[in-house]
Structure 1
Amino acid sequence: MNNTLSTLTWLFSGLMFALCISIPDGYRIGAGGLLLLSLSLFFLKPKWSMLNKDDRLLFWVFVVFVISIYGAALSDWIRFDSVVKKTLDRFSLFIFVLPVMVLLLNVSGRKEWLWYGVVIGAMSGFSLALYERLVLGLGRARGSENAILFGNISMLLGFLSLTAAAYFFYQKRFFWLVLALSGGVCGIGGSVLSGSRGGWVAAPLVIFFLLWVFRNLLGKKLLSKLILFLLLIISIIVLVPQTGVQARIGQAVSNITHYADNTAKETSVGLRFDMWKAAVYMFQQNPIIGFGESQVKKNKQNLADIGSVSHKIVRFHHAHNEFLDAASKRGLIGLFFILVLYLVPLKLFMNKIRQNECDWKIKFYAVAGALVPMSYIGFGFTNVMFTQKIGVIMYAFSIVLFWVAVKNAENEALS
């Protein structure tokens, strides 16, 4: 029974990555399967003693974050509209992942299936992006999500696939090494085809991190060749007009110029600047607890009526910046908890990287785990990833899955 449960648990874990952007609501299949399997905890009598202080810290980070969201919603209780309800519904998913964490800690691991999942997910997502761009003729690939979320999740899968490539290089499994490298290119390519510039902000930092952390594994000669290859790929992506990157960068520069000289403010970048401006204003007016979800639209409308921002930003429910959005809606308290949600898991994974400097069997999973908050922080400068369930699920479940994979690898090293 336990062997079957273990197999199903890690199968659904891999499926979450494999299907997350290639089929409509594909992420729900893996995450939903894990939630259903977590019901077996009622019969397994889980060993709670297996949770050490770091496990409990991660556990409580999620719990306290959700409590902070519900606390902020109290100010909206009288105006309990659809926006507030949807917000609470989304963020509750951080609680639902916790029994999955306990389940994973109590079953033996086939954690390697996570690598297969991210590679398949990156490649299948890129295939869909190509179909949408070349066959359907869409200007931006989007899958079943909006183009920004599709592109950012694709970029994350690309980063994780590059980590998988390092894993298979270490294992000398060259077939999967080639597939994982292809997955890395496909994940980044899916982001390119989506035209989501926010994901490109995270790319330089993450790629530098990967090159740095794997420098000893690759060796100076191979590392130099890899850097030259990456520069070549980046040059091709930027210079070839068909990718759309050159046009999107040029459009951004033009938008910024027009916004600065006040000749055209209602461009893509100009509207984003106005959203940031409105968020800063709301934060300044109520810096401790913010204005809440239900009052954002009203405040933006007031700013638009006096000509401070464009009327076109009123319809947007968020500020297109994770940190400004939290500050405007939930004040310093909300900003603090969103930073905790990102920085505590990042610190835990970075600690594991340092503690297992020479043990690559553990270190690969720790690197992958660190990439998740690192990427989300980068994405958060130009978007709010938690506006849709896919953003919440891919963050919460990815953190838990790679954390448990690290724990399993540590246990195997001791046995």
Structure 2
Amino acid sequence: MPAFFLLTYPAATLLLHGGASALSIAAAVISLALLFGPRMWTGFAPLRWDSADTRICIAMACPLAATLVSELRHLSVISNTLDSPSRFLAAAPLFLVLRRTSPRTLAWADLSFALGAVVSLAVLLVAPKVSGIDRLSSRFLNPIHYGDIALVLGALSILSLNWWRKDNLPVRVIKIAGLVAGLAASVLTGSRGGWIAVPVVAVLILYVRGRGKSRRWKLVLPIAMLAIVVGVFTFSHTARDRVTDISSDLLHYEQGQRDTSLGIRLQLYEAAVKIIEAHPVFGLGAHGFRDSMPSFSASGVLTPVAAQTGEGETHNQMLAYLTDYGLIGGLALLAIYVVPGVIFWKRLNTPTAPAGRAALMGLTFVVGFWIFGLTVETFDLKLTVAFYATMVAILAALATYADKTGNGT
């Protein structure tokens, strides 16, 4: 069962409505049973905690704790605001179980990211949904989140080349196809906010993978990456138009026309900063940003269109946590990025090659999602919270499994 879960989870997230949430909850329940059930039934040895176990579990508990502290401070605990942050904590038991799983089982993740990326494009080609702004997505996920997930799965797909062993030709073709599919799906959705992650992740990969490589390798790989980007913008009018729109939106904003895609975001960021200055420690509490939109509209800080948009989201994940839950919310959000990121960074040079590669993949994933969150709320949906938390649990277990097995074999 763990092997099947590892292989299918990314693809199921994009194929099944509610698949990410349902699978993550099922994985949490089964993991808890394995961890705390009688050893004669589960076959699991008693838990022996180490620093990685402790840090991941505490980090995953932080968003829920911060939400509760802020809401108790405001004497208003709203149950539906606890659902999403609880999904982070639900991934902790899965991490603990996967760390103690055999490398042979963990190796089933080898093709999972490629399959997920290929599925992301297949859905758009076979059963797409055209949003009200003429952008493709799936029938249950908006274009921004869909494009971001497809993009990061494409990156993980190419990083999984020769991961556990030297891949044969068919496997290499599938993983390269995963990169192409992820990029294509991202372009089709027009989710330009996610494209900011491309150069950052490219530099990260070049830095980590380039150490000890020949001068020729260091020259060829950047050229190949640049060629891919140039090819995308040469042959895709969607990509060109979406990038060109940025300068157009900025020009309109300076001229007082604030109700463009970028202009609305800038207005919301201004309102968020005002809230943070007035309520720095505990924020406004549950739904505080949303409920403040009418007053900002009445005062002229926001246009009516921007205020209506703000009732849906802040369009920046950190500002969303800071406005509703204050400094404690911001620190909690940092924890779910920084703690796994540090664990991945420290294991980039581990002697166990598959674990080291998984560390690079995990770092790429965390950095990618942090950048995605600069222009959209990545954790306002249960699906995206479950996907991020579960993927971090999987990648962190893959990067640290050798700590438990000794030699990783």
Q: TM-score, with normalisation over the residues of structure 1?
A: 0.89
Higher relative contact order (CA 8 A, sep 6+): 2
Identity %: 23
Q: CA deviation at 1:365?
A: 1.0
Runs of 5+ consecutive residues of structure 2 not aligned to the other structure: none
2:149 to 149, 153, 158: 153
Question: Which amino acid is 2:279 matched to?
Answer: N
Question: Following superposition of structure 1 onto structure 2, how do residues 136-151 of structure 1 map, counting pairs within 5 Å?
Answer: 139-143=134-138, 144-151=140-147
Partners in 2 of 1:198 and 1:87 — Cα distance?
A: 25
- Classify 1:328/1:306 alpha carbon distance in 2 versus 1 (closer, same or farther; 3 Å): same
Q: Is the 1:152–1:379 contact (alpha carbons within 8 Å) kept by the matching residues of 2?
A: yes
Distance 2:378 2:50 in 1: 30
Deviations 1:185-237 (A, max 9, x none): 21122111111111101111112111221225764434433322222221121
Deviation at 1:282, TM superposition (A): 0.7
**Out of 390, 393, 397, which is 2:390 matched to?**
397
Cα distance in structure 1, aligned partners of 2:328 and 2:226: 41
Look up the match of 1:5: none
**Residue from 270, 278, 283 that aligns with 2:271:** 278
1:302 and 2:295 aligned: yes
User: CA RMSD for the aligned pairs?
Assistant: 2.4
- Mapped pair 1:162 → 2:155: no
The corresponding residue for 1:4 is none
Aligned to 1:99: 93
Equivalent residues of 1:16, 1:29 under 8 A apart: no
What is the CA-CA distance between 1:130 and the residue it aligns to? 3.0
**Cα distance in 2, alignment partners of residues 138 and 317 from structure 1:** 16
Matching residue's letter, 2:200: L
Contact 2:289 2:320 in 1 (8 A): no
Aligned counterparts of 2:119 and 2:212: Cα–Cα separation in 1: 29
Deviations 1:137-192 (A, max 9, x none): 98322212111110111111111112112526x62433212211211121122111
Q: 1:255 aligns with which of 249, 261, 268?
A: 249
| Structure 1: distance between partners of 2:100 and 2:173 | 33
Which residue in the other structure is 2:332 paired with? 337
Q: Does 1:187 align with 2:182?
A: yes
1:69-105 CA-to-partner distances (Å, cap 9, x unmatched) read 1112224544x5xxx4332111111222222223223
Report the Cα distance in structure 1 between the residues aligned to 2:90 and 2:128, rounded to whole angstroms: 36
1:90–1:389 contact (8 Å) kept in structure 2: yes
Deviations 1:253-277 (A, max 9, x none): 1111110221x11111111111111
Aligned to 2:70: 72
More helix by share: 1
Of 340, 353, 365, which residue of structure 2 is paired with 1:360? 353
TM-score by length of 2: 0.90
Query: Given that residues 158 and 179 in structure 2 are in contact (C-alpha distance below 8 angstroms), is that contact kept between their aligned partners in structure 1?
Result: yes
* Structural mapping, 1:6-155, within 5 Å: 8-28=1-21, 30-38=23-31, 39-45=33-39, 46-75=44-73, 77-78=75-76, 84-109=78-103, 110-131=105-126, 139-143=134-138, 144-155=140-151
Letter in 1 for 2:321: A
Gaps of 5+ in 1: 1-7
- CA deviation string 1:89-147 (max 9, x = no partner): 11111222222223223432411222211110000111112345699998322212111
Answer whether contact 1:255 1:269 (CA < 8 A) is retained: yes
Matched pairs, number: 399
